[in-house]
Structure 1
């Protein structure tokens, strides 16, 4: 996957993740899962589509998602899979409308050439009904899977209206991690950050510290999340956390103003604040992240 192909993603809000050059490692200790020999691959992350949003923050809201789908489909090399990291739809108090928006979102996402597409909920999708409509349409809100030597974990920190992961899911996470070697390649997807970024803006997970305590013993963990509608990087000891940009509108820098109101729409630069990310991984090297702006088609 070359740089030119990545640039063809330039109309996508969210992130493109390219993981390359990792190799197999020694067998895991007894009782632990040994990763398969690593093969190069990449996946695409999209976040915060907010299908159903209407407002001055993005007058083009009816078309942005469709443009993203078309852009991903135009890639010369298709990703192994695509993941949407929450807020697939915009919140509504009407259960019927909530399901209608999810159905419309699914119809548009079905236009992706890649059929290995995964989802996690955002609070706009799940907090008003504890994830009931989300699960009807997209299946479990937390899960794990293996892909070419990497262990992926999707956490739900939004279905609880109190912004908690919850004891049941934390026990599930512990049991899942117990099966992994301490040097396993682990990638975690969440919607909200697992650390206290700006709690008064709801940019936190109230029991995120418990999840992080479970992850800390593992030496190769990276977290990708959404929710804050902008690029942001944070280290907790050896674990890096990377926020994705949004497909709907950008939000202000963390804590920079009293309320987290959307950044004003700029007709001269309609894609300002939207973009994508390239992340490269090589054996025995840190992840390399490169951010690209969205360009007008």
Structure 2
């Protein structure tokens, strides 16, 4: 494929799937939200080449949740006719993911890899740190990434990871970002990386890292209020990103599913926390 032909793909994040029978998150059917989001993707006039999910695949991280998710993903790949690739988030558990989703022996081994689609290289990174909301890319993974990027891809490279590498509108999420974003910035300096796609914050957010576009997608399971400075306001909202790669550049179109965005829950932080 030449650089003048566009590649379209879908970026989903924070689907928070639970096996049927568990107490629903905020009373929401996250499986139904996932299916409605996939139906929105299926209705697009342009068929995407692939779909990525940037973490928080499940809410509790149990083996049965990942087995159920595996069945949902298999069904979606058949119905959409495209491959689906996943990364891990802070709600995910590596041993359960490997056993339930990959069908492997459980292990704490970090999960990251790359694939090519029409000349575009996509790197699925692991920023998940066990038992932590914050994210970090370990040194072994950074070494692997630097070596991978030594050879440019025909249409450039896109990184997919859970924790955003750039600041958000409020300080509430400052403790939830990628802790070593500066290390990632150095790793991609002078490379063919054109974009970094993330999730975790449950709203659309755009910035740049070493000149590359950084775009966080809205959550599928629920949204957060990006304007709430001293609180986390959980909203009934689902969205995703439609990404277009052309001429070795990337653009992202935020897509929000119809809905009233009603308030599900609000957590107000103490004055001491807000003053940090």
- TM-score, scaled relative to structure 2: 0.75
Q: How far does residue 54 in structure 1 lie from its aligned partner after superposition?
A: 4.7
User: For residues 112-160 of structure 1, what are the alpha-carbon distances to aligned partners after superposition, in whole Å with 9 as ceiling and x for unaligned?
Assistant: 122511111111013xxxx122223237721111221212111100044
Would you say 1:209 and 2:182 are equivalent positions? yes
- Residues 109 and 170 of structure 1: is their aligned pair in 2 closer, same or farther, counting only changes over 3 Å? same
Please name the residue that 1:40 is paired with: 6
Contact 2:188–2:210, Cα closer than 8 Å, also in 1: no
Contact 1:251–1:261, Cα closer than 8 Å, also in 2: yes
Would you say 1:193 and 2:161 are equivalent positions? no
Gaps (5+ residues) in structure 1?
1-21, 25-37, 93-97, 266-272
Within a 5 Å distance, the mapping from 1:227-242 to structure 2 comes to: 227-242=200-215
Would you say 1:23 and 2:2 are equivalent positions? yes
- Residues 199 and 80 of structure 1: is their aligned pair in 2 closer, same or farther, counting only changes over 3 Å? same
Would you say 1:180 and 2:152 are equivalent positions? yes
- CA–CA separation in structure 2 for the residues paired with 1:54 and 1:201: 30
Gaps (5+ residues) in structure 2?
105-109, 260-276
Of stretches 38-47 and 233-242 in structure 1, the one that deviates more from structure 2 is 38-47
1:121 to 88, 96, 109: 88
- CA–CA separation in structure 1 for the residues paired with 2:207 and 2:57: 24
- Residues 192 and 133 of structure 1: is their aligned pair in 2 closer, same or farther, counting only changes over 3 Å? same
Number of equivalences: 242
Q: How far does residue 110 in structure 1 lie from its aligned partner after superposition?
A: 1.8
CA RMSD of aligned residues (A): 2.9
Within a 5 Å distance, the mapping from 1:201-280 to structure 2 comes to: 202-218=175-191, 220-253=193-226, 256-263=228-235, 265=236, 273-280=237-244
- CA–CA separation in structure 1 for the residues paired with 2:192 and 2:172: 27
Within a 5 Å distance, the mapping from 1:85-124 to structure 2 comes to: 85-91=54-60, 98-112=62-76, 113=79, 114-124=81-91
- CA–CA separation in structure 2 for the residues paired with 1:158 and 1:220: 21
Contact 2:173–2:201, Cα closer than 8 Å, also in 1: no
- Residues 210 and 111 of structure 1: is their aligned pair in 2 closer, same or farther, counting only changes over 3 Å? same
Q: How far does residue 179 in structure 1 lie from its aligned partner after superposition?
A: 2.4
Please name the residue that 2:52 is paired with: 83
Would you say 1:171 and 2:149 are equivalent positions? no
Contact 1:58–1:248, Cα closer than 8 Å, also in 2: no
- Residues 161 and 208 of structure 1: is their aligned pair in 2 closer, same or farther, counting only changes over 3 Å? farther
Q: How far does residue 205 in structure 1 lie from its aligned partner after superposition?
A: 1.5
- CA–CA separation in structure 2 for the residues paired with 1:238 and 1:185: 14
Please name the residue that 1:13 is paired with: none
- Residues 292 and 237 of structure 1: is their aligned pair in 2 closer, same or farther, counting only changes over 3 Å? same
- TM-score, scaled relative to structure 1: 0.71
Contact 2:160–2:198, Cα closer than 8 Å, also in 1: yes
Structure (1 or 2) with the greater strand fraction: 2
